Amino acid sequence: TVSKLIEQEIDAFYRWHGSSERYSFAGIIGASPQMQRVFEMISRIAQTDITVLIDGESGTGKELVAKAIHTLSNRAERPFFVINCGAIPDNLLESELFGHTKGAFTGAANAKEGMFEAAHKSTLFLDEIGELPPQLQVKLLRALQDGEIKRVGSNETVRVDVRVLAATNKDLAKMVETGDFRSDLFYRLNVIQMTLPPLRQRADDVTLLARHFMDKFSKKLRKDVIGFALETVEMLRKYSWPGNVRELENAVERAVALAVGSRVLPHDLPPHVLNSAQPQNGHIAEDDHLTLKEVERRHILETMEATDWNQEIASKRLGIGRTTLWRKLKEYNMIDSDEDI
């Protein structure tokens, strides 16, 4: 029987944190003040054609922000085009961006339009813009300033109407100082700069995102996982998430896949997340202000969840008799008062 105490904890959790959908903005989830400012900026600039530079650590959701800007713009009816400047070899990147003519280089059997032509009247997102080689920085600058491009192997100018959004996890201003990035291109891209905060600076969003990913992967993996144990939530909030939202998503996917019962338990988390949140002595992470009874209650609750509420197995894990466990469950309102041993 699911205890009244567990139901109260679940209700309190959702009253406090709300549904993830409640805090969703154009597909991005966040209730923190930092993300609310990001949402406000997206709303203010989406309807313009202004160039935007989005910076932030890897995994913070830069492409999602770019997609949101496109979705809320006047160009939303056209597809959203994405190219990762760091994922394509330099000798192919120029052709991918600007296209090529037939016979322009070995293997160019046919003419091909590039991303700029394909994205005419739409939005082009240039991810990892800091990886763009110097010779292409010049061509990109011309495309931004004049709205014109030339295919590789052609002298013909093609007019394009493309809104460019760029993203980087590097300090482009420092790259300008060192001569690794053109200053004129930097200023042309940096008309509006949006900096996305790392997940460690918005702990309140961790639970919302975790809930969102739990719902997503419960459906995808056909699992009946409906929530997180209280200890699991605490561990998720305490971990620093160096890989940001992308790392959290992967961790929740793993946890949902491994979950046995209806809730994600601490041991379902990746080892590095679990270990970073636990004290060196291996005991349950505790709040300094918890009473001894509360520590005992949490330990019993976690053990019961881990054993799918099998009192016989749980009592053995706890090292107490089944009768003693039954009394404790009644004491902490984890079973109905009239339930037999």
pLDDT tens profile 35-59? 999 999 999 999 999 999 999 999 9
Domain extents for the chain?
4-21+200-331, 33-196
Which CATH entry fits the domain spanning 33-196: 3.40.50.12280, 3.40.50.300, 3.40.640.10, 3.40.50.800?
3.40.50.300
| CA end-to-end distance (rounded Å), the chain | 12
Query: What proportion of the chain, given as a percentage, has pLDDT over 70?
Result: 86
CATH code for the domain defined by 4-21+200-331: 1.10.8.60
Residue 291 has pLDDT above 80, yes or no: no
186 or 275, greater pLDDT: 186
pLDDT over threshold 70, residue 290: no
Tens digit of each residue's pLDDT (9 = 90 or more) over 122-170? 999 999 999 999 999 999 999 999 999 999 888 899 999 999 999 999 9
**Higher-confidence residue: 199 or 24?**
199
Count CB neighbours of 234 within 10 A: 18
Angle between helix axes 203-220 and 230-238 (nearest 10 degrees) is 120
Q: Comparing 259-263, 326-330, 334-338, which segment has the lowest mean pLDDT?
A: 334-338
**Residue 140 CB partners (closer than 8 Å, separation 6+):** 97, 126, 132, 185
Specify burial of residue 22 (Cβ count, 10 A radius: 0-12, 13-18, 19+). exposed
Q: How far apart are CA 130 and CA 180, in angstroms?
A: 9
The pLDDT value recorded for residue 60 is: 95
Instruction: Give the model confidence (pLDDT) of 188-231 as tens digits.
Output: 999 999 999 999 999 889 999 999 999 999 999 999 999 999 88
pLDDT in the model for residue 20:
57
User: Tokens at residue 10, please?
Assistant: 């679940």
pLDDT of residue 53: 98
Q: Residue 318 pLDDT > 80, yes or no?
A: no
